Structures are given as structure tokens and as C-alpha cells.
Amino acid sequence: MTVSRRRYTIPLSSREALVLGDRCLVMGILNVTPDSFAETARTVDAAAAVDAALRMEAEGADIIDIGGESTRPGAAPVSADQEMARVLPVVRGLATRLRVPIAVDTSKESVARAAVEAGAVIVNDVSGLRFEPGLAKSVAESGAALVLMHSRGHSSSMYAEAQYADVIADVARELRMSMCRAVDAGVAAERIIIDPGIGFAKQPAHSYGVLARLPELAAALERPILVGPSRKSFLREAVGGQAATERDWGTAAAVTAAVLAGAHVVRVHAVAEMVQVMRVADEIRRHG
């Protein structure tokens, strides 16, 4: 069964608006960290990261999401200066070369501000403004779009927070609080995208529940939905205990479910493969 997908237009600060809903978009993950959980080849070197981003665009990515701090469970935090040293050379190197929008994956206000000045037009905050509420004001002033992800706790303690009376109702309520913080700081509601945070402060059953009930979340919040299931640990048991880098088949199933359930954007590592998956799932939707 497929569900309707509402159309949204997301204004971006320095380029034409991002249209969501006509088809699902693919956000390519570009981690410039030495400790990414889901990649064997590291792209800490700026030149290598720029080349990787250009390849993802050629493979069909609609957005490139650049992150300089791992958010995997148990990951050590890094300073804003260290994160900027990793991210900014890559953003600058891509700003005039990519045709697709650049997102910066950060919860730090100073990193977001510098990245937008360097050419990013979307800020992707995994904390949903819990860590640095001042980030919202900076985003508002820049005119960038804002992705608000649901999470609880920090990377070292998130699973202790994975207790829900009703996972969709609880996630919707907490994301609504994040949206209110953003709007109160001056972010236009039309610039907000929401992410239910698959795998963040969620046991596998919670993540599967979110995927299965995605239309309820979209209806409750009336904002476009970004889903990031790529290679995450909730897939591990279902795929026979495979390591993260071996979970692309499981990711493909999750991406298909997300597209059929009305997701506007899917965030993935294996861009070429998941572009094919997304396009077939979208064709099923179109004929459904």
C-alpha cells in the first residue's frame, strides 16, 4: 500500500528553492571523520572528500550532507574548531562545483554559521536544537533550511532514553517542541524539514515502528520527512548480524518502505545503489 506525499517548497538562502514531493530525493552522506561507523574508506582529506561528493552527485544524489563529528553511539565529542577544520575546506571546495545543495550535519551554532557562510544552504541538526538552542537564531539570520531530527540524550547515553509510551506520538510531540524552538527563534516554518531519527535513542522495534507508521508522523507535523536508515544497527539482526558496511541490502528494504510511506528525502551512504532503489519505489508509488 502506498500513501500520498504532500508537495513542499523549501526556500534556500543562496539558490533556487528545493521542491519536495514530486519524487523522493536522495541525500548522500559525506562523513569527514576518522571514526564513521558505516564506512571503511575514510574521507578526512579535503581533496578526497570533494572528489567523493562529486561522484555522489554524478551517481544521482540530490543533496550532499557533510559531517565532521560522528554521532554513532559512544562516539567521542569533538570541539567546534576541530569540526570546522574538517568541514569548511570541503564546503568551500564544493560550493562552486556542485549543482546540488550542500547540507552541513552539525549541532554546533558556530560550525553551522561558518558552513553556511562557506556555501552550505541546509543545516542538519541531529539534536533537534537540544544542544545549542542558539543555532536556530543563526539559521534564521542566514536563511538556510533546517532539518530537525528527533533524538534523546547524547551519543554515550541515547539507548538509556529509548523508552516510549507510543513511539510515534512521543516522537511527534518532541519534534513539535523542536519546531516551536526554531520558529520562536525566527526560522520560517516553511524552511523546516523533520527527521524521526531512525536508530537514535530507539531500540530496533522503535525504528521499525517509526518506518511502519511514517504517514502518521507526517500528518501530525505537516512538514516534509527525511529518513536516514542507512546501514544502521537496527538492521543488524534482520540481516544476520552483518557489519555496517555489509547492510546495503537491508538499507534498500528500509529505503523502499520509507518511499512507499511517503518520505520526501532518504539519507544514504551507497548513493548509486539507493538511487535505483528509490526510483523503482517511486514508480510503484506513482502507479499505486
3-state secondary structure the chain: CCCCCCCEEEEECCEEEEEECCCCEEEEEEECCCCCCCCCCCCCCHHHHHHHHHHHHHHCCCEEEEECCCCCCCCCCCCHHHHHHHHHHHHHHHHCCCCCCEEEECCCHHHHHHHHHHCCCEEEECCCCCCCCHHHHHHHHHCCEEEEECCCCCCCCHHHHCCCCCHHHHHHHHHHHHHHHHHHCCCCHHHEEEECCCCCCCCHHHHHHHHHCHHHHHHHHCCCEEECCCCCHHHCCCCCCCCHHHCHHHHHHHHHHHHHCCCCEEEECCHHHHHHHHHHHHHHHHHC
Strand partners, 125: 148
Segment 146-202, tens digit of pLDDT: 999 999 998 878 888 999 999 999 999 999 999 999 999 999 999 999 999 999 999
Q: What integer is the mean pLDDT of 66-70?
A: 94
| 231 carries an active-site annotation | no
Segment 244-283, tens digit of pLDDT: 999 999 999 999 999 999 999 999 999 999 999 999 999 9
> Looking at residue 42, what is its pLDDT?
57
Q: Which residue is catalytic, options 232, 236, 285, 286?
A: 232
Q: Is the pTM higher than 0.85? A: yes
> Looking at residue 53, what is its pLDDT?
97
> Looking at residue 37, what is its pLDDT?
55
> Looking at residue 38, what is its pLDDT?
55
Segment 203-247, tens digit of pLDDT: 999 999 999 999 999 999 999 999 999 999 999 999 999 999 999
> Looking at residue 159, what is its pLDDT?
86
Q: Which CATH number describes the domain made up of 9-287? A: 3.20.20.20
CA distance 158 to 176: 20
Distances, alpha carbon 123 to alpha carbons 33, 103, 108, 112, 180, in Å: 18, 6, 10, 6, 17
> Looking at residue 172, what is its pLDDT?
98
Tell me the domain boundaries of the chain: 9-287
CA distance 199 to 208: 9
| 232 carries an active-site annotation | yes
Single-letter residue type at 258: A
CA distance 131 to 217: 23
Lowest mean pLDDT among 69-73, 122-126, 160-164, 208-212: 69-73
How does the average pLDDT of the chain come out, rounded?
Answer: 94
CA distance 165 to 170: 7
Beta carbons within 10 angstroms of residue 175's beta carbon: 23
Q: Which residue is catalytic, options 113, 231, 267, 285?
A: 267
pLDDT at 39 over 90: no
